[in-house]
Amino acid sequence: MQLELTFSNELRHVACVDALITSALGQLPLDDPVRANLLNGLIAVTEDTIRHAYPDGESGLITLSLREKGGQLEITVRDYGIPRDVDAMELQLHGMAPGHQLLKWLESDHIGNAAVAETLRQVDHSVVLAPEQSYDVRRMRTEEAEQVSQLMYRVYGNTYFNEDIYYPDRIAAQHQHGVTVSYVAVDKAGEVVGHYALERIPDSPVAEVGQAVVDSYHRRRGLLGRMKQCALQDAAHSDLVGMLMR
């Protein structure tokens, strides 16, 4: 059995998802409690994805796939929206849907097709800027990795060439191990609104500058220059002998 349903991020489609899952699970040799837990878990995941996968007011697609082979059931809920901490999301869903652990596979895929990612999203110059305020410019804290991923999505959509930036766990791990050192600009509300990174070139005392971005609402505040200066000051006290800027 192999089924796939693609739908837009509107709650009215939950009924269609419910009908498809109920029909599909009815064809499998499952005990009623197991079937009910799977159904509840998938509906909870679907509703959560519809509500939170994309920014408010933005339309997007979600795909539900069910595949049964050799007695194993694989279920995928996939979106191409805002990057999220999947581990934290699963913990949240454990409380929402008993038996969620019965789902063999839950994945939220934020990376678009490279073939259609040739042009980065253009900056909307009509955006009304945030009020003037002070910003905290410093090294990123590992718990801010998710905000960095979300910032990159807001500015570039899912078209940024380095897909690691869409996975908070990768950003945090690379930062923690010094592979990529991230610097951020944080607004007065504690939100990450700017990012700048030094990516170490393997087996080299040189780092490449990359992943530089400022939220559209906080442009023209000199944040990019301040993050760059912060990185330069750090580099001056490290074993780096140069930085590559492209």
- List the structure tokens of 178: 């010094």
180 phi and psi angles, rounded to 5 deg: -130, 120
- pLDDT value of residue 245: 63
Q: Which comes out higher in pLDDT, residue 134 or 71? A: 134
Quote the pLDDT of residue 215: 93
Model confidence at 160: pLDDT above 70: yes
Is the pTM of the predicted complex or chain greater than 0.75? no
Mean pLDDT within 4-26 = 88
Nearest to 64 by CA among 118, 121, 113, 25: 25
pLDDT in tens, 100-148: 333 333 333 433 443 333 333 444 556 789 999 999 999 999 999 999 9
The residue extents of the domains of the chain are: 2-102, 136-244
Mapped to the 3 state alphabet, what secondary structure does the chain carry? CEEEEEEECCHHHHHHHHHHHHHHHCCCCCCHHHHHHHHHHHHHHHHHHHHHCCCCCCCCEEEEEEEEECCEEEEEEEECCCCCCHHHHHHHHHHHCCCHHHCCCCCCCCCCCHHHCCCCCCCCCCCCCCCCCCCEEEECCHHHHHHHHHHHHHHHCCCCCCHHHHCHHHHHHHHHCCCEEEEEEECCCCCEEEEEEEEECCCCCEEEEEEEEECHHHCCCCHHHHHHHHHHHHHHCCCCCEEECC
Among 73-87, 180-194, 208-222, name the one with the lowest average pLDDT.
Answer: 73-87
Domain 136-244 architecture: 3-Layer(aba) Sandwich (3.40)
**60-69, 101-110, 166-175, 221-230: least confidently modelled range:** 101-110
Average the pLDDT over 154-167 and give the result. 83
pLDDT at residue 85 above 90?
no
Name the more confident of 80 and 90: 80
What average pLDDT does this structure show over 37-52? 86
> Does residue 32 have a pLDDT over 90?
no
Compute the C-alpha angle 78/87/142, nearest 5°: 115
pLDDT exceeds cutoff 50 at 97: no
Q: What rounded mean pLDDT belongs to the chain?
A: 79
Q: Indicate the Cα dihedral angle 165, 80, 192, 121, nearest 10°.
A: 80
Could you tell me the pLDDT band of residue 89, with boundaries at 50, 70 and 90? low
The answer to whether 227 and 195 have CB atoms below 8 angstroms apart is yes
- What pLDDT, on a 0 to 100 scale, did the predictor assign at position 39? 86
pLDDT tens figures, 193-236: 999 999 888 777 888 888 899 999 999 899 999 999 999 888 88
22-26, 171-175, 235-239, 240-244: range with highest mean pLDDT: 171-175
Measuring CA to CA, how many Å separate 160 from each of 35, 145, 172, 227?
Answer: 40, 16, 18, 20
Q: What is the CATH number of domain 2-102?
A: 3.30.565.10
